[in-house]
Amino acid sequence: MPRILTGITPSGTLHIGNYFGAMRPAIELQAGGDAYYFIADYHSMTAITDAKERLAFTRGIALDWLACGLDPAKAVFWRQSDIHEVCELTWLLGTLTPMGLLERAHSYKDKVAKGISPNFGLFAYPVLMAADILLFDTNVVPVGRDQKQHLEMTRDMAIKFNQTYGEGTLVVPEERIAEAVSAIPGLDGQKMSKSYGNTIEIFGDEKALRKKIMGIVMDSRTPQEPKPDADRNLAIQLLRLFAPKDVAIDFENRLRAGGLGYGDLKKALFEHCWNFFAPYRAKRAELAANPDYVEQVLRAGALRARAVAEKTMARARRACGLRLI
């Protein structure tokens, strides 16, 4: 059974783009493999410097994923910072990682181009990411096509390490290109992103969510006018995510034929969105009322993860000529 690993950076409030684009596909994998999921709080340090904010986001991520279906009986779930071996392996890998490899990283170049001040953490981010993967003898890493370079860099580091210190010391992971998920549109029609301020939060307030959805800007056509481009209507695109297929098709056909007002369409979108996530909201409220349980889940996950990490580090230290501890 292949070991699958996914990391989640605690950098903000969960929205439906996160859910449909990454969370749901990742959670579905726990049923078919040896699934490892971690909250990448070390990674968040390249973007967040407020300690209280990081703690809140980390706790929020744990609540969100558990509420949305991550099962600690089927998957190992932990905080990255609970496994100190990841920092040690980062150093071991870093001593063999060429500067040119890191300089070619798309994410680093993109962030610098956007005006983010470069620092060691940002530059060495791919090495920490490689350590996250290699520390747990990961066989398969699900990635989108835009993240493929990260895994290729991880493979390069693992191969270089094995060539230098002994074949088989580190498991070289394989990529699994995630099935393409169309970009989830935000409230303004652009890709949904916190950066654009156009998100629909999964666990947001009911009144605020209704206001957001009812505020989606439409064109000036009257309800009676046929709309042959109904399939490209933003509310229809979002409705397809939440409503049964036949219901979404019916609304699209009614909009195309004429006679359906945009206000009624947006009301239907809100209702289907709100009801879709109702079980998750209930579960999250239950978990939030029992913070000790959530902490126990993360600590138990860290113990299971560390059992693997310690074995990997023992192999790596022995291969490098370092004393076993």
* Active site members: 111, 191, 194
What are the angstrom distances between the C-alpha of 56 and each of 12, 124, 145, 147, 318?
9, 25, 30, 27, 38
DSSP per residue, 159-190: HHHHHHH-TTSS---EEEEPPP-PPPB-TTSS
Q: Report whether 240 contacts 248 (CB < 8 A).
A: yes
C-alpha to C-alpha distance for 200 and 163, rounded to whole angstroms: 48
What six digits make up the tokens of 308?
């693997």
DSSP per residue, 187-243: TTSSBP-GGGT---BTT--HHHHHHHHHT----S--TTS--TTGGG-HHHHHHHHHS
User: What are φ and ψ of residue 280, in 5° steps?
Assistant: -70, -40
User: What are φ and ψ of residue 134, in 5° steps?
Assistant: -75, -25
Q: Give every strand in the sheet of 140-143, ordered side by side.
A: 75-79, 34-39, 3-8, 140-143, 174-177
Q: How far apart are the first and last CA of the chain?
A: 30
Q: Crossing angle of helices 262-276/278-288, nearest 10°?
A: 40
One-letter amino acid at 159 equals I
Query: Which single residue is written with the structure tokens 């950098």?
Result: 11
C-alpha to C-alpha distance for 196 and 194, rounded to whole angstroms: 5
C-alpha to C-alpha distance for 135 and 24, rounded to whole angstroms: 25
**Residues across the chain:** 325
One-letter amino acid at 85 equals E
Q: Report whether 185 contacts 236 (CB < 8 A).
A: no
